[in-house]
Chain A
Amino acid sequence: MKKPKIRELCEALRSFFSRPFTTTFPLTAHEPAKKFRGKPEYNEDTCVGCGACFQVCPSKAIDMVDEIKDGLGRRILIHHPKDCLFCGECERNCITGDGIKLSRIFDIAYFDEKDVQDRIEHELLLCKHCGQVIGAVKHLTWIRKKLGNLAFSQPVLISRFTGEIRLATGAEESFSGETDRTDILKTVCPGCRRLAFISDEGGER
């Protein structure tokens, strides 16, 4: 402009003498706001492995893998920052309230994605008859605790309860061929329990 007006001149002087708006990140550290939505992180103590975060994630950034090997089950939940929206739906829908929480970590550039993934593993309870997954052990324990006395209506939860207060030898439950009525009270998956309900003591449906 040929003749800058006084207020623009004042503004120019103000800009010249004030601190720049840019910071010197990464040379200086950056402190994000208190409520900043950064990378979600699992909490080893409070996550129960229910998989709610996996179900609600809008961008499918959380993978839930159930591995069964040699009769032992393992559930692995992996969070991928490359797909994450940092929306906080996982935190919001976590059934325990703080199994997964958004941290304030924002600097997650990587060469190898595995360096920034967050994983948590849980032991799975498997059906003693057919080997299918019933659920994560910690999840079932959490449900049992939450239900209190009502937990006694569900045989699997009973076995979780009795398994905790009595030294479990692990060899009590036996099965003979087809499912029969007595299998209702054993640690079985919903599929097997359904078959057990429609059978009689002799295994006849």
Chain B
Amino acid sequence: MSINKTLRKGLAALAGGVAVTTLMAGTALADPAIIYDLGGKFDKSFNEAAYNGAEAWAAETGGNYLDFELQNDAQREQALRRFASQGANPIVMAGFSWTAALEAVAPEFPETNFVVIDTVVDQPNVQSILFDEHTGSFLVGALAAMKSETGTVAFVGGMDVPLIHKFYCGYAQGAKHVDEGATVIENYTGTTPAAWNDPVTAGELTQAAIDNDADVIFAAAGGSGIGVLQTAADAGVYSIGVDSNQNYLHPGSVLTSMVKRVDTAVQTAFNEAGDDATFQPGLLMLGLAEDGVGFAVDENNESEISAEQMAELEALEEQIIAGEIEVHDYTTDGSCPV
């Protein structure tokens, strides 16, 4: 494999004790690289979405890419330097924990382009991609309140972290926007990365919510979400999927999916960020307008959403894009107005 060979060359250079940084930085290999966060490549969630994007790029272009799975926080800078020294370009990072590492490493490799998803690093060679999870969540929250007969909707999050609170906050605002008296039940599957892949706990939380009259449950829980969708389907209530379009899993029960196109973002980055001509450093907000987030409608769920509901949702979407409705972003102040 050619990657192997290049890497060995890199290794040989290292063995020579030469200042590798200067030696390698200029030689653009142009193979893109992606570094997954601690959850691992196959976390059924965010990292896996990033992986899918990289694979889609490889399938589309037939190109090679490098990847690395972190084992601990100390490896962040190490992995970045490693790939940058080897001439990988662009280097894409998925995850909100990259700020400090990237801030340290990006200036050392001005010729390398970095793309970081879910956090912001202000450097001339870094593109930061953020998703408007709160607006997408607002819309599915609004739909949930429209469909709810009990006036109670629920939210099952994955790991108890700010990013997921952002989902919750948008969802709750949407629900309250439609039905001021709506009750929103909030739950998280856990406090460790294992929470992303714990469908059993997620299912139990869902059942508990259903027992408390919830009849629409939004699963923002990565791999754990499968448990939410299954339990909701078994109980005959609605669920809402997340990240990718999960409508097909339980047609008729999955009301919609709050899509967040991390995969597309990675694929686009691989295509564009390697070349300075197409690389756009700075902040890229992917929201409703850019189709970075949104609610999915396809043949599996179109029968569940009436024309009036659809019209109302589209109206809400336009109002948000136009700035007429302001959805509060939890992460700006760490609190939620509802």
Q: Do A and B bind each other?
A: no
